[in-house]
Amino acid sequence: MQLFPCPFCGPRDETEFHYGGDAGNVRPDGADVPIERWADYLYLRGNPKGTAREIWVHMSCGEFFVMERDTVKHEVLSSTALGGEHAA
Amino acid sequence: MTASRLTTGGSAIDRSRPIRFSFDGTNVEGFAGDTIASALMANDIAVVGRSFKYHRPRGIWGAGVEEPNALVDVGGPRATPNTRATTEPARDGLVAKSVNATPSALADRNAFLDRFSRFIPAAFYYKTFMWPDWHMFEPRIRAMAGLGEVDKGWTSPGSADQINHHCDVLVVGAGPAGLAAAKLAAGASLSITLVDDQQKPGGSLGHRAGEIDGKPAAIWIDETIAELAAGGHLILPSTTAFGIYDHNLVGLNQRHFDGRRDTLWRVRPRQIVLATGAIERPLPFANNDLPCILSADAALAYLRRHAVLVGRRIVVATNNDSAYEVAEAVAEAGADVTLVDIRRDGMPATKARLVKGRALAAANGKLRVEGVTLDDGARLDADCVLVSGGWTPTIHLFGQAKGKLAWSEARAAFLPGDPVDGIAVAGAAAGAVSLSEVFAGSQNAVASLGQAKVVTPRSTGVEATGGIVAAWPAPGSKGRIWIDYQNDVTVKDVELAARENFVSVEHLKRYTTLGMATDQGKTSNLPGLALMAGITGRTVPEVGTTTYRPPFTPVPLASFAGARAGELMAPVRRLPLENIHRADGAVFQEYGGWLRPAHYGGRDADADRTIQDEARRARQSVALFDGSTLGKIEVIGPRAAEFVDFLYYNTMSTLKPGHCRYGFMLSENGVVFDDGVLVRLDEHRFVVSCSSSHVTAVHARLEEWRQDRFGRGAVYIHNATAEMATLTVSGPNARKLLETLDFGLSLDDAGLPHMATGHGNYGGDEVRIARVSFTGDRSYEISIRADRAEPLWAHLRQAGQAFDAVVIGLEALMILRAEKGFIVIGKDTDGTTLPHDLGVEGPRAKRRTEFVGRRSLFTEEASRDNRLQLVGLTVPQGDAPLPTGAHGIKRSGGRLRSQGFVTSSYQSPALGRPIALGLIERGAARHGEAIEIQHLGKVSTATIAAPCAFDPAGDRLHA
């Protein structure tokens, strides 16, 4: 079981976390957003091999944050609160 | 009599405490400290099981976790199927039964199968039982093959504890390497956890010679353990480290012998030292699976720990030095010993007769060994054969941690390769042979962790040597040579796999079952893949090993389950008034994670009548309902109005304080995710009344958008669902009933109109009263502090008597809401339902501000004109209600096509006929049209109607 660093609570078991999606997947607003753009936002994911930037939520404290991790080595590279308030 | 108990010796047994247990109905006598295996051996019980496939007689092979043959089902309150007799302590009164044998291992009635063995090689089942259907053959084959049986009548004596644990260093294995590493790490002021799967620490030092720091090994072990205990370090005997998981989490299973369930430990050490030892391998010769052929090291363990001499005329076969100590020891104990060494040079022996440069060709005998044939044709009488084919380092945990293995020709084994972060390997697991090598390895393992202020232990006795010459099973060998005892895999099976091109180790494993089942190939994997290497002209490392996966040894499911069993498997959420409802005869059911009254009284056959009665009476006068499960999530802050506008499909910012509005929340793909009423308490404060079963999900969703889009300071979310109880009073006499209580606020249509909310007072507590209705009747939802709800409920019930009030459960409420065409998300909608499918078109057409799911409402798919739409379905009076899930069908050219389905269906007591809701293709434009409904081949007719079947004008809201 991996250890994820919550920026607010410190290292915790991965079972305390939920995946929230790719980081940087910015929501396009508007009823007239090109449909391809909207489909990208909704459905298309990078699934990178190697370094991935992802949104996670620590279910125990309810806080969302950005975590960078290596999908091959399962190493956690960084963990930052949304808006970059502070990092653990 | 061949195997026997000696009159003296045995470091593990307590001769003052005799015990007696039963094996296959036979009385077995032993001493406290015996394992089932050592006691069986002392009683000269040679046949202890039958093999998986051919029902060959099998005896004890090992003295530890590697045991492939001696599996037993232990009965009684501590029942365990398929447990290894070699690791299971014998205790007085224990009842053990051999596996895969009827009626007993000695007289198994399926023993005839072995005579047909040539017709049932590996993959026989795959090739033979294909036609017409495997399932036709399966029951009989399963009855003939397989291992132990689960006692279906057995119940667990409580749940297993689970413990999370942290330490600086976890040392796995308390043999010489582990003890030395623990001692050194403790000397570097680190916190140690030392685990060992044996009841007594010491590992190989428990039966192999050794002198450390000038002391006998036994003394050194006791002193080291005492030192660690005095230092406050955690020492866990009878504990197996069964797996290493991501980020070096280690799973331990600890056994207890006092009736408690095992304990599961999740350990997060900073550093792991694997001192897991090595396992002795068999040698290949014909009939090498006969009873009384066992690992040489195991024989030494039985001799020195249990004072059991395994035979009178013993042949020891070896390809390395380690068996010499065994041969000398059993000869010293009184056996006649011939040592057959495949090597021409090597050590001398003093007490054993030595035959050099020879190997065993075959073992002879039927139910047990009677002699052996050497490769030069010479025959020797023997009642026992001890075998040492070399040592396989126990690197399972290292492999699980994704450690790469390195082949050592000198050791004829895979050793740990490149280091893995946080894991060091020491002792025999790392290929060490002598104690000096072992201690040097322990020192290295600890060196990087800190400066030890203690001296590394020193071997002062005779040192063990290795000197192995590999003796792998060879292709084309004569006779039946077993590779995997537990799965009945022979040299010929591996050859067959190679012929059929299953040459990869992973394919070999699946095709022949080599290395599967409870022992996971602890003795067989390496010989099997070495044979495959020989057959295919590759080297052993070219063939490679199968993937190491947890668990190292079987772990009871109870350990993984822990407390998560029975009621705690999926805990329900409970109502504050549960006990009151129980006293009222409520029948409880789980709804979306909540335990709620389904109806009051009327169990089983009477349930339907009771529910109908509740629904009928609710329309007549007044109904009381516990709606406490309703979501109450507060949204507070300067941008709260903007926030709820974004989260809801409907515009919510125009809502006036003190009022409520019904609306949908959508997912970003436009699908209706939840519905409910939003209450605006004041300018910057809303309460989201989401569906009972969606509270957690809605709360998570609100938090996500709050943090991702609005910022922490702009909005605050507070889930107050559990803080408040909500009691609902609904029906034509709702207002009259409530006016007999004094809430200090006007409840008439002027003071509190429909979809308004107000604050009152009850018994000194603030109550919030909302005029919202899920029944279609005039309704008041009264929310009060959960811990003060009881007197209010009692008061309502007492006041209700004058109005013939009825307490209704959720089932009656479902009927009332369906009569009105009110939907339940997830029941009357599915994962494709968009808001306009439910007839709520307005916001899609008119809203100009952004909201979740907006863009998805304008796709080609969302605009399709044949979408499934919410409708009512009526059937003629006297017909039975439509089955929920039945499909509306259309016939064209003799083919049937689904046009949608029934989502809710009830008998309506108010209307005296069945009612139903459904999602039907183009349904909104087809009111009045007949449609065929099909369910399980039966077809009936219904008429499409508006969803609302009762009081369509809504007059009763104000009645």
In chain B the domains, ranked by start, together with CATH numbers, are 4-107+282-388 (3.50.50.60), 162-279+393-447 (3.50.50.60), 472-538 (1.10.10.1100), 623-816 (3.30.1360.120), 821-957 (3.30.1360.120)
CA distance B208 to chain A (A): 38
The predicted model gives B147-171 an average pLDDT of 87
> At B158, is the pLDDT very low, low, confident or very high (cuts 50, 70, 90)?
confident
DSSP letters spanning B114-182: GGGGGGS-TTHHHHHTTSS-HHHHHHHHHHHS------TT---SSPPPEEEEEEEEEEE--SHHHHHHH
Q: Is the pLDDT of residue B116 over 90?
A: no
Whether B891 and chain A come into contact, CB under 8 Å, resolves to no
Question: In the numeric block, which tokens belong to residue B561?
Answer: 């389950």
Question: In the numeric block, which tokens belong to residue A17?
Answer: 């976390």
Question: In the numeric block, which tokens belong to residue B231?
Answer: 């230092």
Question: In the numeric block, which tokens belong to residue B210?
Answer: 């050794």
Q: Is the pLDDT of residue B144 over 80?
A: no
Query: What residue in A sits closest to B705 (Cα-Cα)?
Result: A64
B594-627 CB burial, b ≥16 within 10 A, e <16: bbbbbbbebeeeebeebbbbbbbbbbebbbbbbb
pLDDT at site B76: 76
Specify whether the CB–CB gap between B676 and B663 falls below 8 A. yes
Residues 6 or more apart whose CB falls under 8 angstroms from that of B719 comprise B631, B632, B633, B634, B695, B699
The predicted model gives B142-146 an average pLDDT of 72
CA distance B767 to B785: 8
Whether B855 and chain A come into contact, CB under 8 Å, resolves to yes
Provide the edge-to-edge strand list for the sheet that holds B573-574.
B573-574, B594-600, B586-591
Contact at CB, B247 and A28, closer than 8 angstroms: no
DSSP β-bridge partners for residue B680: B659, B686
Q: Is the pLDDT of residue B745 over 90?
A: yes
Specify whether the CB–CB gap between B855 and A33 falls below 8 A. yes
B516-527 pLDDT, tens digit per residue, is 888 889 999 999
pLDDT at site B132: 79
CA distance B593 to B416: 49
Q: Is the pLDDT of residue B200 over 60?
A: yes
B354-406 pLDDT, tens digit per residue, is 999 999 999 999 999 999 999 999 999 999 999 999 999 999 999 999 999 99
pLDDT at site B481: 97
Q: Classify burial at B727, counting beta carbons within 10 Å of its beta carbon; exposed 0-12, middle 13-18, buried 19 or more.
A: buried
Query: What residue in A sits closest to B267 (Cα-Cα)?
Result: A1
> At B711, is the pLDDT very low, low, confident or very high (cuts 50, 70, 90)?
confident
B642-687 pLDDT, tens digit per residue, is 999 999 999 999 999 999 999 999 999 999 999 999 999 999 999 9
CA dihedral B481, B486, B489, B491 (to 10 degrees): -30
> At B826, is the pLDDT very low, low, confident or very high (cuts 50, 70, 90)?
very high
CA distances from B246 to A73, B402, B502 (A): 10, 10, 31
- Count the alpha carbons within 13 Å of B186 in the hemisphere toward its beta carbon: 23
**Comparing C-alpha atoms, which of B320, B434, B431 is closest to residue B386?**
B320
Whether B703 and chain A come into contact, CB under 8 Å, resolves to yes
B728-741 CB burial, b ≥16 within 10 A, e <16: bbbbbbbbbbbeeb
B531-568 CB burial, b ≥16 within 10 A, e <16: bbbbbeeeebeebbbbebebbbbbbbebbebbeeeeee
Phi-psi category of residue B217: left, alpha or beta, with phi > 0 → left and psi -120 to 50 → alpha? alpha
Predicted ipTM beyond 0.90: yes
Pairing mode, strands B313-318 and B336-341:
parallel
What contacts 24+ positions apart, CB below 8 Å, involve B841-845?
B842/B650, B843/B649, B843/B650, B843/B651, B844/B649
Q: Is the pLDDT of residue B736 over 90?
A: yes
Which chain B residues in 654-673 lie under 8 Å from chain A, judged by CB atoms?
A: 668-669
Pairing mode, strands B211-212 and B215-216:
antiparallel
Domain positions in chain A: 3-24+34-84
pTM of the model: 0.89
Query: What residue in A sits closest to B266 (Cα-Cα)?
Result: A1
Whether A28 and chain B come into contact, CB under 8 Å, resolves to yes
Q: Classify burial at B826, counting beta carbons within 10 Å of its beta carbon; exposed 0-12, middle 13-18, buried 19 or more.
A: middle
Our measurement of the distance from residue B451's CA atom to the centroid of its chain's CA atoms, rounded to an integer in Å, reads 41
Written out in words, the top-level CATH class of the domain with range A3-24+34-84 is: alpha beta
Contact at CB, B268 and A42, closer than 8 angstroms: no
- Count the alpha carbons within 13 Å of B482 in the hemisphere toward its beta carbon: 27
B846-891 pLDDT, tens digit per residue, is 999 999 999 999 999 999 999 999 999 999 888 899 999 999 999 9
> At B314, is the pLDDT very low, low, confident or very high (cuts 50, 70, 90)?
very high
Helix (H, G, I), strand (E, B) or coil at B707: helix
Q: B138: how many CB neighbours lie within 10 A of its CB?
A: 12
Helix (H, G, I), strand (E, B) or coil at B787: helix
CA distance B63 to B86: 5
CA distance B952 to B954: 5
CA distance A51 to chain B (A): 17
pLDDT at site B768: 97
SS3 per residue for B627-674:
CCCCCCEEEECCCHHHHHHHHECCCCCCCCCCEEEEEEEECCCCCEEE
Whether A35 and chain B come into contact, CB under 8 Å, resolves to yes
Q: Is the pLDDT of residue A88 over 70?
A: no
CA dihedral B503, B506, B508, B512 (to 10 degrees): -170
Which amino acid is located at B542 in the chain?
Answer: E
pLDDT at site B555: 94
Lowest mean pLDDT among B141-150, B415-424, B702-711: B141-150
Helix (H, G, I), strand (E, B) or coil at B20: strand
Q: How many percent of chain B have pLDDT more than 70?
A: 100
B921-950 pLDDT, tens digit per residue, is 999 999 999 999 999 989 999 999 999 999
Query: What residue in A sits closest to B669 (Cα-Cα)?
Result: A42
Q: Is the pLDDT of residue A87 over 60?
A: no
> At B3, is the pLDDT very low, low, confident or very high (cuts 50, 70, 90)?
very high
Helix, strand, coil share (%) of chain B residues, nearest 5 = 25, 30, 45
Which amino acid is located at B1 in the chain?
Answer: M
The secondary structure of residue B187, as a DSSP letter, is H
The secondary structure of residue B571, as a DSSP letter, is P
Contact at CB, B703 and A62, closer than 8 angstroms: yes
pLDDT at site A86: 41
Whether B861 and chain A come into contact, CB under 8 Å, resolves to no
CA distance B477 to B489: 14
Lowest mean pLDDT among A13-22, B75-84, B358-367, B405-414: B75-84
B7-19 pLDDT, tens digit per residue, is 999 999 999 999 9
Q: Is the pLDDT of residue B345 over 70?
A: yes
Question: In the numeric block, which tokens belong to residue B710?
Answer: 């609005």
Specify whether the CB–CB gap between B637 and B716 falls below 8 A. yes
Contact at CB, B708 and A62, closer than 8 angstroms: no
Residues from chain A contacting residue B266 (CB–CB below 8 Å): 1
Q: A84: how many CB neighbours lie within 10 A of its CB?
A: 10
DSSP letters spanning B586-640: EEEEEETTEEEEEEES--GGGHHHHHHHHHHHHHHS-EEEE-TTS--EEEESTTH
Query: What residue in B sits closest to A23 (Cα-Cα)?
Result: B708
Q: Is the pLDDT of residue B827 over 90?
A: yes
Q: Is the pLDDT of residue B750 over 90?
A: yes
Angle of CA points B178, B180, B181, to nearest 5°: 65
The predicted model gives A21-25 an average pLDDT of 92
Residues from chain B contacting residue A62 (CB–CB below 8 Å): 700, 703
Contact at CB, A3 and B711, closer than 8 angstroms: no
B245, B855, B857 ranked by CB distance to A1: nearest: B245
pLDDT at site B1: 55
pLDDT at site A84: 53
Whether A74 and chain B come into contact, CB under 8 Å, resolves to yes
Token pair 């054969």: residue: B385
Query: What residue in A sits closest to B245 (Cα-Cα)?
Result: A1
CA distance A81 to chain B (A): 10
CA distance B780 to B729: 5
Contact at CB, B247 and A2, closer than 8 angstroms: yes
Token pair 């689970």: residue: B162
